Amino acid sequence: MTDKLSTYKTPISIYCRIKPQIEDSLQEIQDYEINRGSVKDILVVASQQNTAIVVTHKPESYYFHFSRVFDQDSSQELIYNSVAKPVVHSTLKGYNGTIFAYGQTGSGKTFTISGDKDNQGIVPRALQDIFTHISTIENEKFEAQMSYLE
């Protein structure tokens, strides 16, 4: 396996995950889409390359560029394989690695990082990969350290 992190053009990658809407909030979203004359209108448009988001909040617009944007249908497995697995594999080669989730309360950080019984997040998947890797190596001692703060 190649060291995917060494191929990045920058040492930091920034990803955006669009949180799926729960049933109770779907009506609010539809109301925003219908009421286009309101100052509270928000339009989120992801680019075709899934690397940018334009947020229009009248009278201003904002442009955000990401390494990748994951839509609301993106699975925990896809998030892990695309975002965290390259970091985990690089740490197994001796590099330091950090995965940092940032966002407002209720935006889905805990679910992405921890997941639940049926949809494991980044931490359980990373631990599985790390200890699976360690178990394949004989006659070596390993020390694993991890910080996990919420």
Task: Find the DSSP H helices in the chain.
Answer: 23-34, 76-79, 85-91, 109-113, 122-135
Average pLDDT over residues 72-101: 92
Answer yes or no: are the C-beta atoms of 97 and 87 closer than 8 Å. yes
27-31, 32-36, 93-97, 138-142: least confident range = 32-36
Q: For residue 142, is pLDDT > 50?
A: yes
Binding residues for ATP: 103-110
What residues does CATH 3.40.850.10 cover in the chain? Answer: 1-14+73-150
CATH number for region 1-14+73-150: 3.40.850.10
Residues in binding site = 103-110
Q: What per-residue confidence (pLDDT) applies to 134?
A: 92
Question: CA-to-CA distance for 91 and 120, rounded, in angstroms?
Answer: 20
CA distance linking residue 63 with residue 44, whole number of Å: 10
Closest CA to 149 of 100, 81, 90, 108: 100
Q: Which residue has the tokens 């396996």?
A: 1
- Bigger pLDDT: 76 or 48? 76
Cα–Cα distances (Å) from 59 to 34, 37, 68, in that order, read: 18, 11, 27
Quick one: pLDDT at residue 68? 86
pTM above 0.75, yes or no: no
Instruction: Answer yes or no: are the C-beta atoms of 88 and 43 closer than 8 Å.
Output: no
Instruction: Give the three-class secondary structure for 68.
Output: strand
